[in-house]
Amino acid sequence: MSGDRSVPRYAHVMTTRRKWSAAEKRSIVAEINVAGGSVSDVARKHGVHTSLLFRWRRDLGAAPSHSDPARSLSPVFLPVALSPPSPPVAPIRTARSSVLEIQLAGGRVVRVDADVDAAKLAAIVAELEKMA
């Protein structure tokens, strides 16, 4: 290699880290709260990462981006109207049909509703009697 090594090769090295004043941070964060402004758009415009804007907004105590930033931190009360209580309604009870109990040989018992189809019941009883 040749050349004079007594003189530095670079007089100044640039750094990519920028310093932002508090006023600049406030101004940039304020752009987020403009109607229709988004963190991504503002970050892209100023060449910074979105996470940096979220941190600045938190550190500055700025309101999150909404259509009305002043309302986002204040409580909202909604009107509520209560209707007078209605009288209690008795539950509807259906008439329960009677239960028939049929005792088969061998001590077996068949219980069915009284409105069971007689033909089907006869077939079931006949099958059970065959098993005995």
**Residue 6 covered by a domain:** no
**Residue 46 covered by a domain:** yes
61-113, pLDDT tens digit by residue? 866 655 445 445 667 788 888 788 777 776 666 666 688 888 887 778 888 88
**Residue 66 covered by a domain:** yes
**Residue 35 covered by a domain:** yes
Number of domains observed in the structure of the chain: 2
27-54, pLDDT tens digit by residue? 888 888 776 778 898 898 888 999 998 8
**Residue 83 covered by a domain:** no
Domain interval for residue 105? 99-131
**Residue 117 covered by a domain:** yes
Q: Write a three-state SS string for the chain.
A: CCCCCCCCCCCCCCCCCCCCCHHHHHHHHHHHCCCCCCHHHHHHHHCCCHHHHHHHHHHHCCCCCCCCHHHHCCCCCCCCCCCCCCCCCCCCCCCCCCEEEEECHHHCEEEEECCCCHHHHHHHHHHHHHHC
Residues 27 and 65 in one domain: yes
